[in-house]
Structure 1
Amino acid sequence: MDINKVNSMDFGEFVDVFGNVIERCPLIAAAVWSQRPFSDLDDLEKHFFDFIDGLPQAGQEGILRCHPDLAGRELQQGTLTAESQREQSGAGLTSLDADERRRLSELNAQYRARFGFPFVLAARLSERSAVPRELARRLHCPPADELRTALGEVKKIGRLRLADLLGGDPAKL
């Protein structure tokens, strides 16, 4: 899809197409739509990320709470978004053995208890074995640092999803 097609979309179509660029946050796409026209993929991406950066901390934490736990309950129940399902599957998180699932579940619970939102990681950019190590490492980060790190991961995910939709190069990560 080219940027001219994006700029010509009506509100409903834009939200349908871009509503999950930021996991389960179609209101962000709705707000970004009003910023048309976009000059290119980078410009569109900038509007999504500027919206996130402009939110108060509570709003940013709310965005993080829209994300599922990696290899968590939503994966087991089959209720992940299509994008999250592809991303977690691509990282090998859909084929964990019982011990690996239990370990991730424990780490996810500890992380959520410490920070108040789920652990967010751009799974497509991670190897299966690295996920629990990174989760364990980030458990020890100061909360303000972890909020910034988690939002950075949201942006990586958003960048990849936009590149998927517009045929851009995600290698700029």
Structure 2
Amino acid sequence: MQAFKSFPKIIIIKMDIATVNELPYEDFVNIFGNVVEKCPIITAAVWSRRPFGSLNALEAEISEFIDALPESGKEGILRCHPDLAGRDLQSGTLTRESREEQARAGMDALSSEEASRMARLNEEYKERFGFPFVICARMNDKANILRQLTERCRSERQVERARGVEEVKKICRVRLQALVLSDAPNKL
């Protein structure tokens, strides 16, 4: 008989916006604290803007918070993201969300040539811009990610920072959609 390692299963039940609005602060931050990678302070700040009329309104509040940050704060958000197919994936230290997103995009199944290319491009990108390459992995596959990384290494810093922030917002949207039922307006 073969022994199997048991992994805890996380069951996520999507909430409607009324339930989201009723969450106490600690629960809200625990549940939504990683919709922006490793930045629970954003959801902590947004909690006080309740009630949200819809999923789109919650997403808009997070986006507005990010947009209001100084450029250094936006870069800080980008620096919270792990390298795609990087050491965090290899060592198993990615957040649950990042691990699932990278796996879905095929980042955990790169050939040795692809992995080497990805590592080289990730380093080149970080050296050029001072923050990691960010792309919404759930909206891309490994071929497109490698193509985008190659192209974006040639971009200008200001353009890349803005592009990275827009990718963070896409990641946030996808993560929110996994937690909250689609919009049925809440009667405020």
Q: Report the TM-score, using the length of structure 2 for normalisation.
A: 0.88
2:48 paired with 1:34: yes
For residues 4-153 of structure 1, what are the structure 2 equivalents within 5 Å?
A: 4-153=18-167
Give structure 1 regions of 4+ aligned residues with deviation exceeding 6 angstroms. none
Higher relative contact order (CA 8 A, sep 6+): 2
> 5+ residue gaps in structure 2?
1-14, 184-188
What's the CA shift string for 1:143-170, capped at 9, x where partnerless?
111111110100000000001101338x
Cα distance in 2, alignment partners of residues 167 and 122 from structure 1: 21
Cα distance in 1, alignment partners of residues 141 and 35 from structure 2: 22
Cα distance in 2, alignment partners of residues 117 and 131 from structure 1: 17
Cα distance in 2, alignment partners of residues 33 and 63 from structure 1: 18
Cα distance in 2, alignment partners of residues 167 and 128 from structure 1: 29
1:158 to 159, 172, 188: 172
Q: Are the equivalent residues in 1 in contact too, given 2:17–2:181 (CA < 8 A)? A: no
SS across alignment from 1:129 = helix
Cα distance in 1, alignment partners of residues 179 and 23 from structure 2: 14
Q: Are the equivalent residues in 2 in contact too, given 1:25–1:63 (CA < 8 A)? A: yes
Q: Are the equivalent residues in 1 in contact too, given 2:81–2:134 (CA < 8 A)? A: yes
Q: Identity across aligned pairs (percent)? A: 51
SS across alignment from 2:49 = coil
Q: Report the TM-score, using the length of structure 1 for normalisation.
A: 0.96
Cα distance in 2, alignment partners of residues 24 and 167 from structure 1: 23
- The amino acid across from 1:166 in the alignment is V
**Which protein is bigger by CA-based radius of gyration?**
2
Q: Are the equivalent residues in 2 in contact too, given 1:68–1:80 (CA < 8 A)? A: yes
Q: Are the equivalent residues in 2 in contact too, given 1:41–1:168 (CA < 8 A)? A: yes
Cα distance in 2, alignment partners of residues 74 and 22 from structure 1: 17
SS across alignment from 2:19 = helix
Q: Are the equivalent residues in 1 in contact too, given 2:55–2:181 (CA < 8 A)? A: no
> 5+ residue gaps in structure 1?
none
Cα distance in 2, alignment partners of residues 61 and 38 from structure 1: 27
What's the CA shift string for 1:49-68, capped at 9, x where partnerless?
01100000000000000000
Q: Are the equivalent residues in 1 in contact too, given 2:75–2:161 (CA < 8 A)? A: yes
Following superposition, the deviation at residue 131 of structure 1 comes to 1.1
